[in-house]
Structure 1
Amino acid sequence: MSTNKPISRRHFLAYLGTGAATLVTAASGLDSLLTGSGTAKAASSLFDQETPVVTSGSLAGKPVSTDELTLPGGFQYDVIAAYGDVINTKGDTFGYDSTSAVFLPENGSRVKGLLYVDHETSSPQWAHGSRSEGVYTAGQINSSLYNQGASVLEVYRGADGRWRMDTASPAARRITGLDPFELTGPARGAAAVRGAVQVQGTLGNRTGAVTLWGTVLTSEGSWDGTCHDAGLDPSHYGWAAEIDPADPAFKLRKHTALGRFRHSGAPMKLTRDGRAAVYMGDTAAESPLFKYISRGRFDENRGTANSDLLTDGALYAADLENGRWIELTVDAVKEVLRSPGLDLPHAVKYTQEQLQALFREQADVLVHAAEAALLLGATPLGRQGDAALHPLDGSLYVSLVDTSVHGQILRIVEEQGDAGASAFEFEITATGGPQSGFTSPGHLAFDRSGRLWIAADVAPDRLLRSAFRRYGSNGLYVLDLKAPAGSGVTPFASAPVGAAFASPAFTPGEQTLFLSVQHPGAASGEGTPQVSSWPHLPGSTAPRSALVAVRG
């Protein structure tokens, strides 16, 4: 494989179908996956021949809980990279707890390109080691920070059909909790971020979404523990960070205009008048859904210079009861806080006096976006796992991981289909549980036929217990949105013990599905017996998170 031919941004954007149309997160999808006969058709799909599809009864009726990645008959997977694997000639290694995957094909290729992969956490048991007398050493802290962030891999499919890394590629690299990031937007240099214009690293990276100009927005989700352990300022984390996998010289940045919270998902589309709109979930237990709209308009000819659209715009939060987007401004927050005897939302953990001291300028609203949104009447939702845009109608789907025990899929339809609208309608598209055949929806992805791929996110300490026993290990499900309620879900894959899948991504032509396998063996804590050895690689018995390629 060539190691010096860059991926063409023009071809990449053509593949994603941007122009003036909707851009949906990372990939296209699987063509005609499920048919009425319960078989998978070949044509231009993931499948090389007609193969049987696992039915909902066979998995839901007999839970799968083996220490293996289980697929329907006729499918196999390649481990492209696992935690600790060397990814380039500098000796950089693949990070821990791989989450979302984004495939950027080289000139539209189906068999080679770049893979961007997020790394959400580190692990005291398998990565940076346990505390000594309650304290981490400097080396352990560096290891924890290094193993979070992201990996960029160059990958190709060989003549034998297997996917591999090209470790000689100059594009292959790590972005970690040790690298400098520039702050942009209204909170840059503000008192709320302690005057910072540049911060150290990116942490808790949960989902990556492609921008209209071909870079990646990565969502900083859970950063609290690492910040505490490493002595880092928490106001420097919880942002949407921008990375260009195709250009190592692109300046790493965090966009404060998009707000600070426990980000999850950042799909982007154009408003009717050409502005960039970004939808963002929040993984906190009682936090709203957010939307950002740029003031400037997208110009395809500007390429990555369009990044400045994310430095100046308006941040909104969803009020589901009234079907409206609430703009988050410091003047509006101050007005609410002047009300005597204010009945504060349950999730706001400050007194009224503390909040009056906290919200002085717009930067404070952005740094404390969830609190500002709730004060202004936004709807607190359950823990949001991900957000994805439907490729055909542009509507927004949001996963609520544990609402009503087994979770829900929420659909937002904006007025006249315009991402710039201030009004919307919503519906519950699906509710997890025995009636639907799936549980705990986390990461989401659409195929180009409009089927929704759902990665279950049952916490390791709840797997195979009580209400979750019937579902076995965390699965990957396909939801046919056109099917009658309760009949459209088909299990596709089952994760190893203690693991979960994250953010499926597809190649053009849909012959390959990329999946991250998170934290296998997570059910075994320090001092308890090891419960997983996946991916069972030669010379290693420890469980290792990994990126795999599934093929028919």
Structure 2
Amino acid sequence: MPESAPRRPLLPLIGQVGGGRSRATCRFRCGDACFHDAPNTSGNAYFGDIFTAALSRRNALRAGAVGAGVSALGLGGLGPAYADPKRGRGTRNPRLRFKSVAPNTDDKVTVPHGYDHNVVARWGDPVLPDAPEFDFENQSAAAQEKQFGYNCDYVGFRQLDADRGLLWVNHEYTNETLMFAGYTDGNDADPEQILISMAAHGGSIVEIERITGTGAWRLATGERRFNRRITAKTRMELTGPAAGAELLRTEGDPTGTEVFGMLNNCSGGMTPWGTILTCEENFNQYFVGGEDAPAEAKPALKRYGIKVEGDTRDGNRRFDRAEERFDLSRHPNEANRFGYVVEIDPTDPASTPRKRTMLGRVKHEGANPRLTRDGRVAVYMGDDERFDYMYKFVSDKKYRSGSRRHNGTLLDSGTLYVAKLTGDSPAEEIDGSGTLPSDGEFDGSGQWIPLCNATESFVEGFTVAEVLVHTRLAADAAGATKMDRPEDFEPNPVTGKVYCALTNNTSREPGQADEPNPRGPNKFGHVLEITEQGNDAGAEKFAWSVPLVCGDPDDESTYFAGFDKSKVAPISAPDNLTFDDQGNLWIATDGQGSKLGINDGLHAVPMEGRFRGELKTFATVPVGAECCGPFVTEDNLTVFLAPQHPGEDGTVESPQSTWPDRQGFPRPSVISIWHTRGKKVGR
């Protein structure tokens, strides 16, 4: 019998609001996005176009998709971020051997029996050699610029040798009510507090080392030549076809090629040539003055969730009080310079981060590469918004192993696509309840619609620069399929299939449900599986299915790839994804507390073989925290995880969490998890 956690009633709901997060998370992370109308008001069909021949085309497509298998390239510890279509399939009948962690609301990290964990890095830890020790009562912007930033999200890892490596961590956003005593809002904040918050954004590169005799990792001692902090003020370069365009020019940068800082970096990825791709998401909330922006700029600003009516100086952060560029009434193009995939070289602390305009401008929630059959690079991307779209970029030039200079140009020319999906079931069989159609599966076919390449726009009425700066508007015009908050988008290094986490969408009405988004409202989210035609990441057609429809397994609307639901764990709000070397899917969640009444966690599930759909909970995070990361190292001996915003709804005066140090306030951190007997994780 498959191992499983004892079934028990789920815990009472805690702190539920809006679209599935705590009230404070909605305020600080995404600017209360779910409390406003969805920005996508296009007339695109929710179901795509329904063709009577869809089923026969789907079967033909799937027959062609049984191409050569794939596996990880395994380049120097970069991890399973992309797949080589020329290699074998690897393990075809994986099994997860750990016993599932029981649902809980404990203020701690919980891991399975036989595993242990430790804190690798926490907010305020020294990063640069001259960084002062963290002093909660006496913070300064100068200190924070040299210390580990706030709210960790995406985690990337590059092995340097057996016991040393580089850890990249996104610092997505700040919660000032947990950072500063007596904080109310940005209107009343001390200007130094605003500068501290700006310094706590961005990312950190830190050298880490394995603690001898254990599976634990810690911040490295001795020389740390790669350590680096990137903040909301770090100089960056805009590259690609849109660089220099009128839409990107400002008073401070008349060339339209230089921008300072990155904002709200959520998920990311790693390239075959060893660089980090870190993604700007909810950048819209940092800008004020939209009501006084030029009239011609307002439709695009509004499409990206930027307020253009009423009083926009609502006091949330007020970065404009520190730097005028965040006031759109004075600098209306500044917002156009955020919302990109940023490429960073972790081995060169002096290098300039590059915002790659060729990959489009959306609320990026991940950018993960896979090689095409002819050696080019495809990058899969989601736009984390209700009713927004899934994207793919395919480079013009081929990847060259060992050629850093050549590979550094790959993301500046190619073709940007958006996805259009078609279901194969009659529309009347998709009623929003989650009931499977008569063929027993939510599935169908899809097409990648080209939006532009480096020299030509394929969207009528849009120039190349307009497609890349106003990508959402171009995708609207192209007829893309509206999805339920497409977040992380990851290729499986063993099979080559690609998976997208659709976190949730409580705004989808029952009549708006479609086969790729089969519930309305979609409270708990689902996972989409894509098989490119010929198993080629460069293909323009694909087959798709929905292997996981999330929620309480006792809920009739849930589905776990056909596996016995009495033997699976509950899961809600799938967010970040990764894979192990067997091709098992690992899913970190964001919102289980408000949807299922339990702490968020890291779940794992086989996607192939007889145990496909047997979902287990590998770890849970502290009360109020979102489970971020995750990253399984190439040797499969460590899982890095980032519990973000523990105790989010608390304050300094009344904390809801004091994890991890029990010093009266929480500190967002990155942890490592390992098997105490040195086994591979999950085995």
Judge same fold: TM > 0.5, yes or no: yes
1:280 and 2:381 aligned:
yes
Q: Which residue of 2 aligns with 1:514?
A: 640
The alpha carbon displacement at 1:550 in A equals 0.9
Task: Could you tell me which runs of 5 or more consecutive residues in structure 2 were left unpaired when the two chains were aligned.
Answer: 1-72, 132-145, 250-254, 289-317, 321-325, 327-333, 423-444, 506-521, 554-559, 561-569, 676-683
For residues 517 and 33 of structure 1, the distance between their equivalents in structure 2, rounded to whole angstroms, comes to 27
SS at match of 2:658: coil
SS at match of 1:323: strand
For residues 652 and 274 of structure 2, the distance between their equivalents in structure 1, rounded to whole angstroms, comes to 41
Aligned ranges for residues 59-74 of structure 1 at < 5 Å?
59=102, 63-74=103-114
Q: Deviations over 1:54-76 (max 9, x none)?
A: 33xx62xxx30010011112222
Q: Which residue of 1 aligns with 2:239?
A: 184
Q: Which residue of 1 aligns with 2:212?
A: 159
Q: 2:552 aligns with which of 430, 434, 448?
A: 434
SS at match of 2:229: strand
Taking structure 2 as the reference length, what is the TM-score of the superposition? 0.66
Matched letter for residue 123 of structure 2: Y
Q: Which residue of 2 aligns with 1:117?
A: 169
Q: 1:173 and 1:292, CA in 2 relative to 1: closer, same or farther beyond 3 A?
A: same
For residues 94 and 213 of structure 1, the distance between their equivalents in structure 2, rounded to whole angstroms, comes to 26
Q: Which residue of 1 aligns with 2:671?
A: 548
Q: Deviations over 1:434-460 (max 9, x none)?
A: 23432111100000101110111107x
1:308 and 2:409 aligned:
yes
Task: Could you tell me which runs of 5 or more consecutive residues in structure 1 were left unpaired when the two chains were aligned.
Answer: 1-10, 24-28, 41-52, 336-358
Matched letter for residue 398 of structure 1: C
Q: 1:183 and 1:439, CA in 2 relative to 1: closer, same or farther beyond 3 A?
A: same
Q: Deviations over 1:372-415 (max 9, x none)?
A: 11221111111122111111121110000015211111011111
Q: Which residue of 1 aligns with 2:118?
A: 78
Q: 1:293 and 1:489, CA in 2 relative to 1: closer, same or farther beyond 3 A?
A: same
1:475 and 2:535 aligned:
no
The alpha carbon displacement at 1:247 in A equals 1.3
1:201 and 2:261 aligned:
yes
For residues 240 and 283 of structure 1, the distance between their equivalents in structure 2, rounded to whole angstroms, comes to 14
Q: Which residue of 2 aligns with 1:458?
A: 591
Q: 2:618 aligns with which of 478, 489, 492?
A: 492
Aligned ranges for residues 6-25 of structure 1 at < 5 Å?
13-16=75-78, 22=84
Q: Are the aligned partners of 1:30 and 1:506 in contact in 2 as well (CA < 8 Å)? A: no
Q: Are the aligned partners of 2:503 and 2:526 in contact in 1 as well (CA < 8 Å)? A: yes
Q: 1:179 and 1:265, CA in 2 relative to 1: closer, same or farther beyond 3 A?
A: same
Which is worse superposed, 479-488 or 304-313? 479-488
Matched letter for residue 407 of structure 1: G
1:95 and 2:154 aligned:
no
Q: 1:143 aligns with which of 196, 209, 226?
A: 196
RMSD after superposition: 2.7
Aligned ranges for residues 517-528 of structure 1 at < 5 Å?
517-524=643-650
1:172 and 2:227 aligned:
yes
Q: 1:178 and 1:127, CA in 2 relative to 1: closer, same or farther beyond 3 A?
A: farther
Matched letter for residue 119 of structure 1: H
Q: Are the aligned partners of 1:31 and 1:448 in contact in 2 as well (CA < 8 Å)? A: no
For residues 198 and 284 of structure 2, the distance between their equivalents in structure 1, rounded to whole angstroms, comes to 13
The alpha carbon displacement at 1:138 in A equals 3.5
Q: 1:314 and 1:486, CA in 2 relative to 1: closer, same or farther beyond 3 A?
A: closer
How high is the sequence identity, in percent, across the aligned residues?
34
Matched letter for residue 386 of structure 2: A
For residues 133 and 288 of structure 1, the distance between their equivalents in structure 2, rounded to whole angstroms, comes to 32
Q: Are the aligned partners of 1:268 and 1:277 in contact in 2 as well (CA < 8 Å)? A: yes
The alpha carbon displacement at 1:245 in A equals 0.9
SS at match of 2:408: helix
Q: Which residue of 2 aligns with 1:106?
A: 160
Q: 2:282 aligns with which of 218, 222, 226?
A: 222
The alpha carbon displacement at 1:327 in A equals 0.9
Q: Deviations over 1:272-308 (max 9, x none)?
A: 2222111101111121100111112222232244121
SS at match of 2:608: coil
Q: Are the aligned partners of 1:408 and 1:432 in contact in 2 as well (CA < 8 Å)? A: yes
SS at match of 1:187: coil
For residues 261 and 272 of structure 2, the distance between their equivalents in structure 1, rounded to whole angstroms, comes to 24
Q: Deviations over 1:470-501 (max 9, x none)?
A: xx100111111236688510111111010011
Q: Are the aligned partners of 1:30 and 1:510 in contact in 2 as well (CA < 8 Å)? A: no
Q: Are the aligned partners of 2:82 and 2:369 in contact in 1 as well (CA < 8 Å)? A: no
Which is worse superposed, 478-487 or 428-437? 478-487
Matched letter for residue 450 of structure 2: E
Matched letter for residue 366 of structure 1: L
For residues 16 and 132 of structure 1, the distance between their equivalents in structure 2, rounded to whole angstroms, comes to 41
For residues 19 and 102 of structure 1, the distance between their equivalents in structure 2, rounded to whole angstroms, comes to 10
The alpha carbon displacement at 1:185 in A equals 0.8
Q: 1:54 aligns with which of 99, 111, 116?
A: 99
For residues 238 and 19 of structure 1, the distance between their equivalents in structure 2, rounded to whole angstroms, comes to 22
For residues 326 and 543 of structure 1, the distance between their equivalents in structure 2, rounded to whole angstroms, comes to 45
Taking structure 1 as the reference length, what is the TM-score of the superposition? 0.81
For residues 186 and 340 of structure 2, the distance between their equivalents in structure 1, rounded to whole angstroms, comes to 33
Q: 1:128 and 1:21, CA in 2 relative to 1: closer, same or farther beyond 3 A?
A: same
Q: Which residue of 1 aligns with 2:659?
A: 534
Q: 1:205 and 1:450, CA in 2 relative to 1: closer, same or farther beyond 3 A?
A: same
For residues 525 and 235 of structure 1, the distance between their equivalents in structure 2, rounded to whole angstroms, comes to 33
Matched letter for residue 69 of structure 1: V
Matched letter for residue 659 of structure 2: W
Q: 1:133 and 1:306, CA in 2 relative to 1: closer, same or farther beyond 3 A?
A: closer
Aligned ranges for residues 340-489 of structure 1 at < 5 Å?
359=462, 361-403=463-505, 404-435=522-553, 436=560, 437-458=570-591, 463=593, 465=594, 467-469=595-597, 472-482=598-608, 488-489=614-615
Find runs of 4+ consecutive structure 1 residues off by over 6 angstroms: 17-20, 29-33
Q: Are the aligned partners of 2:504 and 2:524 in contact in 1 as well (CA < 8 Å)? A: yes
For residues 277 and 498 of structure 2, the distance between their equivalents in structure 1, rounded to whole angstroms, comes to 17
Aligned ranges for residues 312-323 of structure 1 at < 5 Å?
312-321=413-422, 323=446
Matched letter for residue 153 of structure 1: V
For residues 380 and 445 of structure 1, the distance between their equivalents in structure 2, rounded to whole angstroms, comes to 24
For residues 400 and 18 of structure 1, the distance between their equivalents in structure 2, rounded to whole angstroms, comes to 21
For residues 493 and 30 of structure 1, the distance between their equivalents in structure 2, rounded to whole angstroms, comes to 24
1:210 and 2:270 aligned:
yes
